[in-house]
Amino acid sequence: MSTKIFCDIAEISQIKKFNKKKIVKGFTTNPSLIRKAGAKDYKSYCKKILKVCPQKPISFEVFADDYKNMINQAYILNSLGKNVYVKIPFCNSKGSFCGKIIKELNKNNIKLNITAVYSSSQTKKILKNINKKSKVIISIFAGRSGDSGLDPIPEFKKSLLLCKKYKNVEILWASVREPYNFTQAKQIKCHIITVPPSIIKKIEKFGKNFKDLTIETVKNFLIDSRKSNFKI
């Protein structure tokens, strides 16, 4: 199994560009990225994205915080396209697990991306509320775990093990910090990793060895020193 690369972006011009790349197998977005992209109306902007990305899987996230509105938004987002995964947070802002929402949407064959997941115990809780048919992505936030001094790798390994019996479930490495995270994701056989465009560009250049890197680094040292015109 090879780890699929998704692109984490909401700018339409960038989605159009990266949708042409074979290395990119799908896209993830969130309300923050969509706002930063300049959207004024969430639904209409999602529709614009789908015009340039009508085939590859793409995640659109609900932004409500209560059961009724989260469910309503989920059904609306799902209706926009067959390639849409509806992103639902593991819990709301009060810490209440969104299991009831996950269960209802999953039962109605809505593709889900459960986000803001950090631990295998949370993965286990999600699995108890889904069937073994409807597609589900579980997004584990590696980078934010690391930022807090927590090692996400053991949680990924446990989550991947829990999901073995679920052919419809994929674990996604989210909150990427550097290109090497892709190598880490491959090593543990994570199904998907979602990365920003800047890191995809670096992943495309993978292949240099330590000797190549040393020579390249020293050449850059030389270029900088000549620009400075230093004398001793």
Q: What is the CATH number of domain 4-207?
A: 3.20.20.70
Residue in the block written with tokens 């209440």: 96
> Could you tell me the pLDDT band of residue 44, with boundaries at 50, 70 and 90?
very high
Residue 3: what pLDDT? 98
Least reliable range by pLDDT among 1-5, 65-69, 216-220 = 1-5
Residue 19: what pLDDT? 98
Q: By three-state DSSP, how is residue 162 classified?
A: helix
Under 8 Å between Cβ of 28 and 194 = yes
Mean pLDDT, the chain, rounded, equals: 97
Which whole number is the average pLDDT over 12-37? 98
Q: By three-state DSSP, how is residue 219 classified?
A: helix
For the chain, percent of residues with pLDDT exceeding 90: 97
Does residue 229 carry a pLDDT above 90?
no
Under 8 Å between Cβ of 127 and 169 = yes
Residue 121: what pLDDT? 98
Residue 130: what pLDDT? 98
57: number of Cβ within 10 Å: 22
Which residues, other chains included, contact 196 with Cβ-Cβ below 8 Å and sequence gap of 6+? 7, 8, 9, 176
